[in-house]
């Protein structure tokens, strides 16, 4: 059982959600909303299902990630009703109900069948969830305007949510420490994954996203998705991007480690780490997140100069001409919550020069974002630059040397507070 303080904060969290939901329902002319937890679909042409993780709004209220075919009804001025699917089933286990105070704040029913519950009178009802699950339920299905307003209720985290995210970070950091240690002993990507799972006590399928574990050149593929079972001939670099779910909440942390003797790569990691820390100091109320992204590009330009990867070009020219984008092609981060890329980050379309930025809002107290600059050697992005008019400014022998180390990303999870940034990853 988590500590008393967290359980008390969870009660406050539910009270706050009730207020936010009532205001949203009122604004859109609904009396209630029924939320389906979801259910894992079958793989096409197969009798096996995908692994289940749960629908965002259901997790926002309950944190219960493994509960398929369950439902939550929120109505104005009424106690929430939670139906938990608890079948008698000799094929599968049924998760025990948590005995925690928050469940006393809801009316809880057992649902024996994988079918929607019989509802009390609800008035004007919205029904949210996977269309495959909610099809037979009367009501207004997934109304877009209401969903947008409800997504907005996830943007400014309650104190409970921030503490859950902090704990998800603490747990993931144990995994990162273990991963780094076995990498330094020559482990394969597969062995590094096992060490991470062992240290976090979390199997991969339950993680917020598939871990990215790239040794050597694989570190240059942004979302590298395989695990080599063979140990590398030389352990030159490790990029591990891996998180933990805690009570539904995700961490999303990346660390890069240089192998023994990789002086130049280690210096680049050090430079990027310093840049990342400077960017974290910008996570304050009122800052435009796109400005952090821009500062990241300027910092990458400075690092390209300082390392000798690019010579004879002004930092701003490198940014304006897209050279930094060839080395750092993704956004500087995103919202974090019950989904690793949490909702509502981009109410307006991305600007032309940051097409991959997932977040384009001004920061406000309570938001939690990732800050994750990177610097990679990606041939498909660098080759066109090398063949173009500015190619002569790039040191190709240094690029060739670093190619075998793949790339660097450093990612922390940072909460916006009135007192400044609270880095949940570095404590
Ligand atoms: N782990 C995916 C990301 O950093 O966005
Ligand atoms: Mn991230
Ligand atoms: Mn990540």
Give me the sign of the Cα torsion angle 219, 221, 226, 228.
negative
- Phi, psi (deg, nearest 5) at residue 357: -80, 125
Compute the distance from residue 252 Cα to the ligand 3 centre, in Å. Answer: 5
Q: What is the largest CA-CA distance in the chain?
A: 72
Looking at ligand 1, which atom is closest to the CA of residue 212? Answer: 1
Distance 365 CA to ligand 3 centre (A): 22
Q: Which atom of ligand 1 lies nearest, measured to the CA of 409?
A: 4
pTM of structure: 0.97
Q: Which atom of ligand 1 is nearest to the CA of 358?
A: 5
Question: Given pLDDT bands bounded at 50, 70 and 90, which one contains residue 353?
Answer: confident
Cα-trace Rg, the chain = 23
pLDDT grade for 427, boundaries at 50, 70 and 90: confident
Look at phi and psi of residue 56 and say left if phi exceeds 0, alpha if psi is from -120 to 50, else beta: alpha
Structural domain boundaries in the chain: 3-152, 159-423
pLDDT over threshold 70, residue 186: yes
Residue 1 pLDDT: 65
Rounded average pLDDT over 287-306: 98
Task: Locate the ligand 1 atom nearest the alpha carbon of residue 372 and give its number.
Answer: 4
Compute the residue count for the chain: 427
The span from the CA of 399 to the CA of 406, in Å, is: 10
Residue bearing the CA closest to ligand 1, atom 3: 252
Q: Which of 332, 340, 358, 408 to mutate to test the pocket of ligand 1 (most atoms within 8 A of CB)?
A: 340
pLDDT of residue 11: 98
Tokens of 92: 């599968």
Condensed to tens digits (0 to 9), the pLDDT of residues 30-42 reads: 999 999 999 999 9
The pLDDT score that the predictor gives to residue 42 is 96
Question: Which residues are CB-neighbours of 197 under 8 A, at least 6 positions away?
Answer: 175, 203, 204
Residues within a 6 A CB radius of ligand 1: 209, 241, 252, 340, 372, 411
Pocket test for ligand 1, best of 169, 196, 243, 372 (most atoms within 8 A of CB): 372
Q: What atom in ligand 1 is closest to the CA of residue 252?
A: 1
Q: How far is the CA of 239 from the centre of ligand 2 (A)?
A: 13
Contact at 8 Å (CB) between 233 and 404?
no
Dist. CA 273 → ligand 1 center (Å): 17
Q: Tell me which fold the domain 159-423 belongs to.
A: Creatine Amidinohydrolase (3.90.230)
> Tokens 């094929």 map to which residue?
91
- Residue labelled with tokens 């598939």: 210
Two tokens, residue 341 = 């890329």
User: 210-241, pLDDT tens digit by residue?
Assistant: 999 999 999 999 999 999 999 999 999 999 99
Give the distance (Å) from ligand 3 centre to CA of residue 164.
18
Pairing mode, if any, of strands 412-417 and 368-371? antiparallel
CA of 330 to the centre of ligand 3 (A): 11
Burial of 293 (0-12, 13-18, 19+ CB in 10 A): buried
User: For domain 3-152, which CATH number applies: 3.40.50.300, 3.40.50.720, 3.40.1190.20, 3.40.350.10?
Assistant: 3.40.350.10
Tell whether the model's pLDDT for residue 2 goes beyond 90: no
């Amino acid at each position: 059982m988590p500590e008393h303080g967290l359980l008390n904060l969870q009660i406050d969290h539910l009270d706050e959600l009730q207020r936010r939901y009532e205001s949203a329902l009122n604004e859109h002319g609904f009396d209630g909303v029924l939320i389906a937890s979801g259910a894992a679909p079958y793989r096409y042409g197969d009798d096996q299902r995908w692994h289940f993780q749960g629908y965002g709004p259901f997790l926002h209220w309950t944190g219960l990630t493994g509960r398929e075919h369950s439902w939550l009804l929120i109505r104005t001025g009424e106690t929430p009703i939670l139906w938990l699917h608890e079948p008698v089933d000799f094929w599968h286990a049924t998760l025990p109900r948590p005995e925690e105070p928050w469940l006393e704040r809801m009316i809880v029913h057992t649902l024996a069948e994988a079918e929607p519950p019989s509802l009390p009178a609800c008035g004007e009802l919205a029904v949210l969830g996977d269309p495959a699950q909610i099809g037979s339920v009367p009501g207004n299905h997934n109304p877009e305007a209401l969903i947008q307003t409800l997504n907005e209720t996830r943007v400014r985290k309650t104190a409970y949510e921030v503490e859950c995210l902090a704990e998800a970070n603490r747990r993931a950091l144990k995994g990162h420490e273990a991963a780094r240690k076995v990498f330094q002993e020559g482990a394969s990507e597969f062995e590094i994954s096992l060490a991470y799972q062992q240290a976090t006590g979390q199997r991969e399928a339950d993680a917020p996203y598939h871990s990215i574990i790239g040794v050597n050149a694989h570190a240059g593929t942004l979302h590298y998705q395989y695990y080599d079972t063979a140990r590398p001939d030389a352990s030159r670099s490790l990029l591990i991007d891996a998180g933990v779910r805690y009570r539904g909440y995700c961490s999303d942390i990346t660390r890069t480690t240089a192998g023994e003797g990789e002086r130049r790569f280690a210096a680049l990691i050090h430079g990027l780490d310093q840049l990342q820390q400077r960017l974290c100091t910008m996570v304050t109320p009122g800052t435009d997140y796109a400005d952090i992204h821009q500062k990241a590009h300027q910092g990458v330009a400075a690092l390209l100069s300082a390392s000798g990867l690019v010579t004879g070009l002004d930092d701003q020219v490198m940014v304006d001409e897209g050279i930094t984008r060839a080395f750092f092609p993704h956004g500087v981060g995103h919202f974090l919550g019950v989904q690793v890329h949490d909702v509502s980050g981009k109410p307006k379309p991305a600007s032309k020069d940051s097409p991959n930025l997932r977040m384009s809002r001004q920061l406000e107290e309570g938001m939690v974002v990732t800050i994750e600059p990177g610097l990679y050697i990606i041939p498909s992005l660098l080759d066109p630059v090398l063949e173009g008019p500015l190619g002569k400014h790039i040191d190709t022998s240094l690029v060739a040397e670093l190619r075998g180390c793949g790339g660097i990303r450093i990612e922390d999870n940072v909460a916006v507070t009135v007192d400044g940034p609270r880095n949940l990853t570095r404590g």
